[in-house]
Amino acid sequence: MKKRISIFASGSGSNAEEFFKHFQNHPSVEIVSVFTNNKSAGVIERASRYHIPHHVYNRTFWQTGDVILDILAEEKVDYIVLAGFMLLIPQALVKQYSDRIFNIHPALLPKFGGQGMYGSNVHKAVKAAGESESGITIHFVNEEYDRGTIIYQESCALSPEDSAEEIAAKVLKLEHKNYPKVVEQEVLK
Ligand code: GAR
């Protein structure tokens, strides 16, 4: 029986697409669905290109997560991957999928994490702090933003001239290179 993964994403979905590619025709892991809270998210078009079904549920549904949990059970989902998902995961889901929800954060946690620290906000903060490096953190999700157990980190050097956009591009490259591989290793342990 293949391990079944659902991807949650709110935006462009470039990381999600790396998962679609990586696990296409994979012998033991399958991406079974995408959930988004944003009906205009780029991830919807990307999922359609790979014939992966998607579900759109607005913010209200993410307060309790009941409906979402029901669908995950119907789809027999084993693991959840957050790929640029911008809402807090409901308690019931964290409980049900304890140590089975992955997140990627576009900085070296515990620095530059917490509420409000997502997407370009993170890179602007890294730039403002004059950091000489940034990177990625892949971690399990618990009840607090960006506080779950860290599974993997990788850093990249920054130069003082790098803009926040250039920092974002360096970090995104690391995300694409590592996120599917690290999840694959974990789910096949
Ligand atoms: C990624 O950089 C991811 O690390 C970040 O959102 C971006 C999504 O890009 N996630 C967070 O900031 C979560 N706190 P994508 O839609 O192109 O994959």
Q: Is the CB of 15 under 6 A from ligand 1?
A: yes
Which atom of ligand 1 lies nearest, measured to the CA of 9?
16
Mutate to test the pocket of ligand 1, among 172, 174, 183 (most ligand atoms within 8 A of CB): 172
Q: Which domains does the chain have, with CATH numbers?
A: 1-97 (3.40.50.170), 104-177 (3.40.50.170)
Q: What is the mean pLDDT of residues 83-109?
A: 96
Select which of 22, 26, 54, 105 is catalytic: 105
Looking up tokens 């079944």, which residue turns up? 4
Residue 53 · residue 33 · CB < 8 Å: yes
Predicted model pTM: 0.98
Distance CA 5, CA 34 (A): 9
The sign one gets for the Cα dihedral 180, 186, 187, 189 is positive
* Cβ 104 under 6 angstroms from ligand 1: yes
For 95, residues 6+ apart whose C-beta sits below 8 A from its C-beta are none
Check: CB of residue 7 under 8 Å from CB of residue 83.
yes
Across the range 131-135, mean pLDDT stands at 98
In the predicted structure, residue 145 carries a pLDDT above the cut 80? no
**pLDDT 10s digits, 13-54:** 999 999 999 999 999 999 999 999 999 999 999 999 999 999
Q: Is 105 a catalytic residue?
A: yes
Give the residue with greater pLDDT, 40 vs 88.
40
